[in-house]
Chains A and B, each alone.
Chain A
Amino acid sequence: MSTTTFSLEFKSETFKGKVNFPTGVFIDGQFSAGAEGTTIDVINPSTGKVITSVAEGTAKDVDRAVKAAKRAFTESWGLKVPGSQRGQLLNKLADLFERHSDELAALEALDNGKTFNWAKAADVAMSIGVLRYYAGWADKIHGQTIETHEDKLAYTRHEPFGVVGQIIPWNFPLMMMAWKLGPALATGNAIVLKPSEFTPLSALRVCSLINEAGFPPGVVNVIIGYGHTAGQAIAEHLGIDKVAFTGSTLVGRKIMEAAAKSNLKNVTLELGGKSPNIIFNDADLDLAVNWSLHGIFWNHGQCCCAGSRIFVQSGIYDKFLERFTAKSKALKLGDPFAGDSYQGPQVSKIQFDRIMDFINSGKEQGATVHLGGEQHGTEGYWIQPTIFTNTKPDMRIVQEEIFGPVGVVIKFEDQEDVLRQANDTLYGLAAAVFTTDITRGIQFAHSLQAGTAWINCANSLHPNVPFGGYKQSGVGRELGEYALNNYTNVKAVHINLGQHI
């Protein structure tokens, strides 16, 4: 079976070099065409034009991948391979990410639209950190010995599930892959991974690195396919023991439903957010302005934990808005491969249209466009950093996740009231509070219904600190030691040493 490949010579300011790698479905260590022989076009969001076509995977390919993963799990992976060896392979993969970091960053910038500099400094760097972090856990998956009585030895084992399905989004393609591979492989699972059909390139490049690192064939299988076909197939597959999904809350529900209806597979979800960012009068103003900017405009606002509702206390409101606006205006939109660009295009036409629709709804519902509110340029999917003021709580731009560079700035006076407003959402992914009164900061952090509470910072993550949602922002935690729980099944072993009945 022959495979599609992708070849390109980059001649940009920030990256020059040739890439050439297979882009077939990656099953059992081999690239091939999909079962239906169809392909998916990959579009460059900077131009709206097709870069290449990659093989499309469908339900039949998922079947084949599950078989390969099951075989690998029983024969050459799982607990047959000691943790120290699993750790070494993960470290080897991290080494390869490091060696190819420029290439990976370039693919990310081309496919997703984020700038090369951000892709290298944030996405690729954190991916490497996450892989190394979980490499360190691989030989430390401990159960417990538990005292019951002298005639019994009781202990727990934390065993891998077996074959796990993983479905990742397009906003941080490479990094989301690393967040998934790390803990799943460290604990000994075999994987069927579906990257987003919008941003398949970096994942496909990683497949070759997985082979090069020395993972046995079938341990990691990657299928580019549509959510309603390949994604659905994974969620309802009887041969998959656990599914992990990162994406919208809407689709997350479908995953959980499919899991419930099929084999009650274990489910973890990382979903959307409408995270509040609360700035008190006594905040360090410049600190708050800079982090707030990062909170909503970084990654073009395409962040599940984006601080998209900015609550500013009345005493500092005017000053904050003035400085925040000035800094937002100064953000450089441009070619992702230009050295001075801060913001590239949104990832796709669909997202562009969605975000513009939200912006229009804000205008229609009577909010003030304080800054931006229009497309930037005529080609590609750039949207100006946009700030709405004078909003009402029931407006769509205040309630719903926009997933674009659109922030709403809301004045508040009373501490209790802003807490109520901040928590008045179906979401609960993250929250931030800016204040120099540390006691108040901590009390607020403890009262906010969010899986991550930032005090005097925002959008700041680490491989070893857990991340995940309250309420409809998700189930389970990624990163940190906590993520290991997503990929292990606890078995309690009872050994009778003398109890006769």
Chain B
Amino acid sequence: MAKAVDLSVPSSNSKIRVHTGLFINNEFVPSVDNPDPINVFNPSTEEFLCAVAAASERDVDIAVAAARKAFRETWGKNVSGFERSRLINKLADLIERDKQTLAELECLNNGKPVKIARDFDISDSVGCLRYYAGWADKILGQSIEIDHKAKIAITHPEPIGVCGQIIPWNYPIQMWAWKVAPALAVGCTIVMKPSEITPLTALKLSELVKEAGFPPGVINTIPSLGPVGGASLAAHKGIDKVAFTGSTITGRKVFEAAATSNLKKVSLELGGKSPHLIFESANIEQAANWAALGILYNTGQDCTAGSRLYVQDTIYDKFVPILAAKAKELVIGNGFDERSGGGPVVSKTQYDRVWSYIESGKKEGANVLIGGEKRSEPGYWVDATIFTDVRSDMKIVKEEIFGPVLSVGKFHTEQEAIDLANDTTYGLAAGLHSTDQAQCHRVSSALEAGTV
């Protein structure tokens, strides 16, 4: 399974060629011992797109060995910061050159609209690569005074080595860029496992990696099933660091595997149930715009999605209808349709998950303000859904849904809002709307989140 396939671009005569092998040492190769491929689907139509090679543990070993060899011989300390900068900038240029094709491929596999993939995901990815290209020749250590007569001490930041990177399916290209850019900038080599649901753009980007001129083995791309490739990377004794973005539940497994194997470094970007607070002094129009964006962008498939909204009681009755109207404006449809502002959820599994949460919301007694009804056509469609009259113990309020499903609650005092916001095991992001400057600072200091 190392052949290329040509995928048709809807409503156009063009085709996109995708290599379906594993990308190791700058070549697309079949799995050495796994005959079962990964089947890839179009979530807007539920149609089969193609099959790609699925890496086995043995394939992971080979990829890791390639990355290690590159780190020792052609990357790591063998390449100057200037050269790393040049190559990463070259890669950014190539992605910019091919942005239309990449956007179309992203839409086919992930469902998000072509124009959003191109003008947001890819634009951000190019900017990210250029940003880190700028850092590559600026990796500074320190010289530290100990005792001028007897000793000099300097710190010398060094690349960690071979990094396993596991990325999710919600922003395939963008998550790829966020991972490779800083790792390459400091001189690490990479074994990248894209999501088995959305492997196609990672494979396409691998072609550009080779074209840009990165030495073989610097980036290796191995689509694989999570429990196979992901687990193997996390537990691999030849990997110095694993970076994972995905669910908290899988993050725990990665962390555990790292601990029990070789104590490799771990960084995790996990889930969220981010609260959004609307205070009475807020500009209501603007707040409603941002709140709608916060839960509907990327069809709610965003780790930082503002999925819990708390509105101050004094403005609740005014605010909620405005929010509902704005949410209804979003057109969720096929990504090749110019009118679409959002696409389907990415897979059958996600579709079933999100709908089961919606059903549980209804069952636990929340009020469906808008949405909550399935479509009849093919495709994994979930329309904007807003629940009101929620209680803190409801599943839809506690657990990450990862769809365009919002829970709206009420608060009276500022402290109550803060307590509601912080009442979660998550802490990825939080938002607030207020025109009271001191309140903005007080509340943002009190919110337990990495981004406010």
Binding site for B on A (CB under 8 A): 84, 87-88, 91, 129, 132-133, 135-140, 150, 153, 442, 446, 463-464, 481, 495, 497-498
Establish whether residues A464 and B148, one from each chain, have CB atoms under 8 Å apart when the complex forms. Answer: no
Q: How far is the CB of B414 from chain A (nearest CB, A)?
A: 13
- In the complex the two chains form, what is the Cα distance from A152 to B438 in whole Å? 10
Q: Which of B27-35, B81-89, B342-350 contacts A (4 or more CB under 8 A)?
A: B81-89
Nearest B residue to A447, CB-CB: B148
Q: Which residues of chain A are near B441, meaning CB under 8 Å?
A: 153, 495, 497
Separation of A133 and B148 alpha carbons in the complex (Å): 32
Complex contact A136–B137 (CB within 8 A): yes
Q: Chain B: interface secondary structure?
A: helix
Interface mask (B255-284 → A, CB under 8 Å = 1, otherwise 0): 000000000000000000000000000000
Shortest distance in angstroms between B130's beta carbon and chain A's nearest beta carbon?
A: 7
Question: Interface 1/0s, chain B 133-155, versus A by CB < 8 A?
Answer: 11111101000000010001000
Q: A446-B148, A481-B140 are in contact. Are A140 and B134 (CB under 8 A)?
A: yes
> Of the candidates B85, B134, B140, B442, which one forms a contact with A497 in the assembled complex, judged by CB atoms under 8 Å apart?
B442
> Are the CB atoms of B134 and A139 closer together than 8 Å?
yes
Residues of A contacting B134 with CB < 8 Å? 87, 135-140
Closest to A150 in B: B445
* B138: contacting residue among A87, A481, A495, A498, CB under 8 A: A481
In angstroms, Cα B438 to Cα A463, docked, is: 44
6 A-B pairs (CB sep. < 8 Å): A91-B89, A133-B82, A136-B136, A138-B134, A446-B148, A495-B441
Q: Chain B residues near A137 (CB, 8 Å)?
A: 134, 138
Closest 9 A/B residue pairs (Cβ): A136-B134, A497-B441, A497-B438, A464-B137, A498-B438, A153-B441, A133-B137, A139-B131, A84-B127
Residues on A with beta carbons closer than 8 Å to the beta carbon of B82: 129, 132-133, 463
**Contact residues in A for B133 (Cβ distance below 8 Å):** 136
Looking across the interface, which residue of chain B has its beta carbon closest to that of A135?
B134
Residues of A within 8 A of B152 (CB): 442, 446
Cα-based distance from A91 to B133 in the complex (angstroms): 12
- Is there contact, CB below 8 Å, between B138 and A136? yes
Return A242 CB to nearest CB of chain B, in Å: 23
In the assembled complex, the Cα of A132 lies from the Cα of B138 at a distance in Å of 12
Complex Cα distance, B132 from A139, in Å, reads: 11
Contacts of A139 in B (CB 8 A): 131, 134
Q: Return the chain A residue nearest B441 by Cβ.
A: A497
Task: Please indicate which of the listed interface residues B134, B148, B152, B437 has the most CB atoms of chain A within 10 Å of its own CB.
Answer: B134
Cα separation A463 to B82 with both chains bound (whole Å): 10
Q: Is the CB of A136 within 8 A of B442?
A: no
CB–CB B130/A464 < 8 A: no
How far apart sit A138 and B134, CA to CA, in the bound complex (Å)? 9
Q: Do residues B438 and A464 form an inter-chain contact, with CB atoms below 8 A?
A: no
Partner of A136, one of B85, B140, B437, B445: B85
Instruction: Identify the B interface with A (CB < 8 A).
Output: 81-82, 85, 89, 127, 130-131, 133-138, 140, 148, 152, 437-438, 441-442, 445
Minimum CB–CB distance for A231 against chain B, Å: 33
> Which residues in A have their C-beta under 8 angstroms from that of B148?
446
Question: How long is the Cα–Cα vector from A135 to B130 in the complex, in angstroms?
Answer: 10
Which residues from B are CB-within-8-Å of A442?
152
Q: Which chain B residue shows the least CB distance to A443?
A: B149
Q: Which residues of the partner chain A approach B138 to less than 8 Å between Cβ atoms?
A: 133, 136-137, 140, 464, 481
Give B340 Cβ to nearest chain A Cβ, in Å.
29
Q: Most chain-A Cβ atoms within 10 A of its Cβ — which of B437, B441, B442?
A: B441
Is B85 a contact of A132 with CB atoms below 8 Å? yes
Q: Chain B residues near A446 (CB, 8 Å)?
A: 148, 152
From A136, A140, A498, residue with most partner B Cβ within 10 Å: A136
In whole angstroms, how far apart are the Cα atoms of A153 and B148 in the complex?
38
Min CB distance, A18 to chain B, in Å? 30
The docked-state distance in angstroms from the alpha carbon of A133 to that of B139 is: 12
Q: How far is the CB of A136 from chain B (nearest CB, A)?
A: 3
Chain B: CB-nearest residue to A442: B152
Question: Which residues of the other chain, B, contact A91 by a CB distance below 8 angstroms?
Answer: 89
A136 and B135 within 8 A (CB)? yes
Give the docked Cα–Cα distance between A91 and B130 (Å): 11
Measured between alpha carbons, how far is A498 from B148 in the docked complex, in Å? 46
The CA-CA distance from A88 to B138 in the complex, in Å, is 17
Residues on A with C-beta less than 8 A from B131 are 84, 139
Specify the chain B residue showing the minimal Cβ separation from A84: B127
CB neighbours (8 Å) of A138 from chain B are 134
Complex alpha-carbon distance, A139 and B131, angstroms: 8
Contacting residues, chain A, for B445 (C-beta < 8 A): 150
Q: Which residues of A contact B130 (CB under 8 A)?
A: 84, 87-88
How far, in angstroms, from A88 to B134 measured CA to CA in the complex? 11
Residue of A88, A132, A153, A446 with most chain B CB atoms under a 10 A cut-off: A132
Residues of A contacting B127 in the complex (Cβ-Cβ under 8 angstroms)? 84
Q: A153 — which chain B residues lie within 8 A by C-beta?
A: 441
| A495→B440 CA distance, assembly (Å) | 12
Cα-based distance from A269 to B89 in the complex (angstroms): 33
Looking at the assembled complex, report how far the CB atom of A413 sits from the nearest CB atom of chain B, in whole angstroms. Answer: 24
Q: A87-B134, A91-B89 are in contact. Are A464 and B81 (CB under 8 A)?
A: yes
Give the complex CA separation of A481 and B135 in angstroms. Answer: 11
Expressed in whole angstroms, the Cα–Cα distance for A399 and B280 within the complex equals 75
B450 to chain A, nearest CB (A): 15
Give which listed residue, B135, B136, B137, contacts A140 with CB less than 8 A: B135
Return A4 CB to nearest CB of chain B, in Å: 37
Q: Which residue from B137, B140, B442 sits with its C-beta under 8 Å from A463?
A: B137
Complex CA gap A446/B147 in Å reads 12
Question: In the complex, what distance in Å separates the CA atom of A268 from the CA atom of B225?
Answer: 59
Residues of B within 8 A of A150 (CB): 445
* Interfacial chain B residues near A495, Cβ < 8 Å: 437, 441
Smallest beta-carbon distance B318→chain A, Å: 28
Closest to B80 in A: A462
Bound-complex Cα distance A112 to B442 (A): 62
Known: A139-B134, A153-B441. 16 other contacts (CB 8 A): A84-B127, A84-B130, A132-B85, A136-B85, A136-B133, A136-B134, A136-B135, A136-B136, A136-B137, A138-B134, A139-B131, A446-B152, A481-B140, A495-B441, A497-B442, A498-B438
* Closest B residue to A498 using CB positions: B438
Q: Give Cα A497 to B438, complex, Å.
A: 5
Cβ of B391 to closest chain A Cβ, rounded Å: 33
CA distance A132 to B140 in the complex (A): 17
